[in-house]
Amino acid sequence: MAHLAVSDVRAKYGSLEVLKGISFSIEKGEIAALVGPSGSGKSTVLRALMGLTPITEGSVEIASERMNYSSAKEVRAARDRMAIVFQAYNLFQNMTVMQNLTLAPLKIKKWPKAEVEAEARRLLGLVGLSDKADAYSDQLSGGQQQRVALARGLALKPQILLLDEVTSALDPELVGEVLDAIGKLAAEGMTMVIVSHEMGFVREVADKVVFMDAGQIVESGAPAEIFDAPKTDRARDFFSKVLRH
Amino acid sequence: MNYRFQFGVVWDNFHELLEGAWLTFQLGVFAFAGGALIGLFCAAVKTYAPRPFRFIVDAYVVFITNTPALIQIYFLYFGLPEVGLRWSNEACLLIGLTLNAGAYLTLILRAGFISARITEIEAGQTLGMSLLQQVRYIIVPHIAKAVYPALANFFIVVLVMGTSVGALIGVDELTGQAINLSSVNYRWLEYFTVVAGMYVVLTFIASIGLALLGQWAFRVKARIF
Amino acid sequence: MERILEQAPRFFSSKNLWLLLEAAGMTLGMTVVGCLIGFALAFVLVFLRQTPDLWALPLRVVCIIYVEVFRRIPFIVVVYLVLFFIQAVNPNASLFTIAVIAICLYAVAFTADIIRGGIESVPITQTEAAAAMNLSRLQSMLWIVLPQAWPVIVPPAIAFAVAFIKDTALVSQVGVFELTFRGKELNNQGYSGILVFGSIAMCYFILSFPLSLLGQHLEKRLGTPRGQRRKSKIRLS
């Protein structure tokens, strides 16, 4: 049984349908990458999974529980199982790095304080920011903020981690560090759905690539299949443009 | 609560409330206009005059804006007769409100003066404009546009909070009329409910008028709501 | 002038000064209590108003009308309405209570917009990040949004409260023993109007001026970003 199964999910912004029936699934420990042109709805899929963009139809199965986000309870259950890292970091500006990492584990998950703090320090070490625990986000560079955001997501011990273009704001020399961290997570068996424009990164880490355009999945499959032998003209056209450099 | 509302008596005397509203409107317009003249003068002094004059304006503004309009008017009404200046209650109200509005309008207009960018004025000088021409064609339109929303807002403040102070020295503006009439037949709640509604209508008319005026004269959008 | 000089020693007796001090306390007390309660209520109002659920829709309309209407009614009219309404409900209510209720009703209308502006100044992405971690709307408001909104809310809220110290002069009309009321009383006792109302004006000035300076100071201080603020503190010490 799939660890995450998205079935015919549809969503609207006002009268505009932005997701027109999205279906895909991944097994535990797999990484799915959503790729496609801007505005194709990749990020909206992640937002819908987190219950931030309401879905009008369809359902999602997470760790063998099926839900369609129709009640506050279901939305809470989905958010309890998953964590998201945003493109713009969205660190809480009024809190230190440490407080950002420990807020939800302490106050929402109600895990023991000593454990939470030890885990937070371990995660800061993982992303190479052990010395920034007491810094505020306006004292960090964009790249540092994104690594904190990654650690904050991990601190929730999610069953599935959603990454929304997390490397697009990083300095080139920092991308490697973050990719290493993500690679370690993959090795540990972290299930992830990532949205990315960086095809080299996707090819390296993803088990499955989902190519989207205009709110629909055009084709999906293993990275080699999709990148090297796309079946549709739309995908061929897109990859010929983005893989050139 | 077993209070029975009886609005009939209010409607019987409605024309007197309307007269009060008319006086409220006149007082608001005159106090605002007078205050605007004072404010314009003081803002100009603060921007262009030498230090001692600026200090006088500062003292005036700080003192007026940190004391209640009611006390200023009491001072005129109860205090000045002692030095031989005996004005009617309406005159005291109007003079007091004008001086009060003048201080606040100095602040508003001064902000506008500051916003008239130096570069624009310099551009005017290089174009060979005289000071008067600069004022007429560059400074005034610029300031008008910058301060109009604040001015429109302040007019409503004068119209509502300002003029109603008059009721406390017996001026028969809208609130004063409500006090006069309701102390005859004790329908306080009814009179004041109706008067509250009349203030809302009056200020909405004023807001709409100001928005139209602003659009027509300065091409600015003033907020009605 | 001679009259003022002649009356001054008697006017500035310890009894009268004590009376004025007490009255100033009353003025400040009802402003602070009324504005604080009003501020808290305004916060609740704004929070409910922003509730996305359908049941909150009529509430939203009520909130908008409330804010819009109260800004257009003179404070003295509100004072009279509260006075006679409360007296019809509970004839034993104290005048202080009535004054506080009137101030509070007025403060709600004026601070609601300030609070809403502050909350809307915090990027929606902060709320989304909080929601994604299962923080409730209230938790997100208290832990994430409000701490970031304070710098936008506090200066204008203080400015409103300080400005309102002066407007409370109007409740003298219904007999609350505050500064203006005592001033009229002393004037009726035969003291010179110039002396009395000049002194009362000074009392208001002493209350209002330092607080307005404090407000301006806070506005400047809270306006600086957090990082710079901490640095400047270090430099001072």
pLDDT (average), residues C50-60: 80
**Exposure of C191 in the CB half-sphere (CA atoms within 13 A):** 23
A109-113, B130-134, B200-204, C163-167: least confident range:
B130-134
Residues whose CB is less than 8 angstroms from the CB of residue A192 and which lie 6 or more positions away in sequence, other chains included:
A31, A32, A160, A161, A162, A163, A182, A185, A186
> Is the pLDDT confidence value at C5 over 80?
no
pLDDT one-digit tens code per residue, A95-119: 999 999 999 999 999 999 999 999 9
Chain B residue with the nearest C-alpha to that of C212? B66
**Exposure of B20 in the CB half-sphere (CA atoms within 13 A):** 29
pLDDT one-digit tens code per residue, C105-150: 999 988 998 999 999 999 999 999 999 999 999 999 999 999 999 8
CA atoms of A57 and A44, how far apart (whole Å): 14
Beta bridge partners of A195: A34, A164
User: What percentage of chain B carries pLDDT values higher than 90?
Assistant: 38
Instruction: Give the pLDDT score at B222.
Output: 60
Residue C231: which pLDDT band, with cuts at 50, 70 and 90? very low
Chain C residue with the nearest C-alpha to that of A135? C227
Domains of chain B in start order, with CATH, are 16-218 (1.10.3720.10)
Subunit contact A90:C126, Cβ cutoff 8 A? yes
Chain-centroid distance, C-alpha A19: 17
> Is the pLDDT confidence value at B100 over 70?
yes
A26 in Cβ contact with A82 (< 8 Å): no
Cβ-based contacts under 8 A for chains B and C: 125
Alpha helices in chain A (DSSP H): 42-49, 72-81, 97-107, 113-126, 142-155, 172-188, 199-205, 223-228, 233-242
Domain assignment present for A109:
no
CATH number at residue A25: 3.40.50.300
A-contacting chains (≥3 CB pairs under 8 Å): C
Domain assignment present for A142:
no
Q: Do chains B and C touch (3 or more CB pairs under 8 A)?
A: yes
CA atoms of A219 and A214, how far apart (whole Å): 13
C132 chain-A contacts, CB cut-off 8 A: 50, 52, 79, 83-84
Question: By residue range, what is the domain housing residue A180?
Answer: 4-92+159-242
> Is the pLDDT confidence value at B10 over 50?
yes
In the numeric block, the tokens 């310890």 are attached to: C14
Give the one of B69, B71, B189 whose C-beta lies nearest to C197's C-beta. Answer: B71
Specify the 3-state DSSP secondary structure of C236.
helix
Chain B residue with the nearest C-alpha to that of C193? B79
Domain assignment present for A139:
no
Instruction: Give the pLDDT score at B120.
Output: 62
Report DSSP state, residue A136.
Answer: B
Instruction: Give the pLDDT score at A105.
Output: 94
Give the one of B80, B199, B204 whose C-beta lies nearest to C77's C-beta. Answer: B199
C-alpha angle C1-C2-C3 in degrees, rounded to nearest 5? 90
Select the more confidently predicted residue: C95 or B218: C95
One of 1.10.3720.10, 3.40.50.620, 1.10.10.10, 3.40.720.10 is the CATH number of C2-236, namely 1.10.3720.10
CA atoms of A223 and A209, how far apart (whole Å): 6
Cβ-based contacts under 8 A for chains A and C: 55
- Sign of the alpha-carbon dihedral angle for A39, A45, A46, A52: positive
Per this entry, what is the length of chain C?
A: 237
Instruction: Give the pLDDT score at A104.
Output: 94
> Is the pLDDT confidence value at B134 over 80?
no
What are the boundaries of each domain within chain C?
2-236
Instruction: Give the pLDDT score at C37.
Output: 94
User: What percentage of chain B carries pLDDT values higher than 70?
Assistant: 92
pLDDT (average), residues B56-72: 93
Subunit contact C227:A104, Cβ cutoff 8 A? no
Q: Do chains B and A touch (3 or more CB pairs under 8 A)?
A: no
CA neighbor of A52 nearest in space, from C105, C127, C64:
C127
Element of type H or E holding C41:
helix C14-49
* Number of structural domains chain A divides into: 1
CA atoms of B34 and B57, how far apart (whole Å): 16
ipTM: 0.89
C-alpha distances (whole Å) from C227 to each of A136, A140, B211, C171 are 8, 10, 42, 45
Residues whose CB is less than 8 angstroms from the CB of residue B223 and which lie 6 or more positions away in sequence, other chains included:
B149, B152, B153, B207, B211
Select the more confidently predicted residue: A200 or A18: A18
Residue C215, chain B, CB below 8 Å: the answer is no
A137 in Cβ contact with A97 (< 8 Å): yes
CA neighbor of A167 nearest in space, from A188, A211, A191, A197:
A197
> Is the pLDDT confidence value at A77 over 70?
yes
Task: Report chain C's mean pLDDT, rounded to a whole number.
Answer: 85
pLDDT (average), residues A43-69: 90
Residues whose CB is less than 8 angstroms from the CB of residue A32 and which lie 6 or more positions away in sequence, other chains included:
A4, A24, A26, A192, A193, A194, A206, A207, A208, A209, A210
User: What percentage of chain C carries pLDDT values higher than 70?
Assistant: 93
Domain assignment present for A106:
no
> Is the pLDDT confidence value at B119 over 90?
no
Instruction: Give the pLDDT score at A97.
Output: 95
The strands making up A82-85's β-sheet, listed across from edge to edge, are A82-85, A160-164, A191-195, A31-35, A208-213, A216-221
pLDDT (average), residues A27-33: 91
C-alpha distances (whole Å) from A107 to each of A156, A183, B3, C95, C233 are 11, 29, 51, 45, 31
Residues whose CB is less than 8 angstroms from the CB of residue C144 and which lie 6 or more positions away in sequence, other chains included:
A92, A94, C122, C126, C127, C129, C130, C135
C-alpha distances (whole Å) from B25 to each of A155, B142, C159 are 64, 29, 28
A206 in Cβ contact with A218 (< 8 Å): no
**Exposure of A65 in the CB half-sphere (CA atoms within 13 A):** 13
Domain assignment present for A216:
yes
Residue C236: which pLDDT band, with cuts at 50, 70 and 90? very low
A169-183, B15-29, B183-197, C152-166: least confident range:
A169-183
> Is the pLDDT confidence value at C237 over 70?
no
C-contacting chains (≥3 CB pairs under 8 Å): A, B
Residue C227: which pLDDT band, with cuts at 50, 70 and 90? very low
CA neighbor of C168 nearest in space, from C160, C158, C156, C178:
C178
The strands making up A55-62's β-sheet, listed across from edge to edge, are A16-26, A4-13, A55-62, A65-67
Domain assignment present for A179:
yes
A103 in Cβ contact with C133 (< 8 Å): yes
A190 in Cβ contact with A161 (< 8 Å): yes
Instruction: Give the pLDDT score at C233.
Output: 36
Q: Do chains A and C touch (3 or more CB pairs under 8 A)?
A: yes
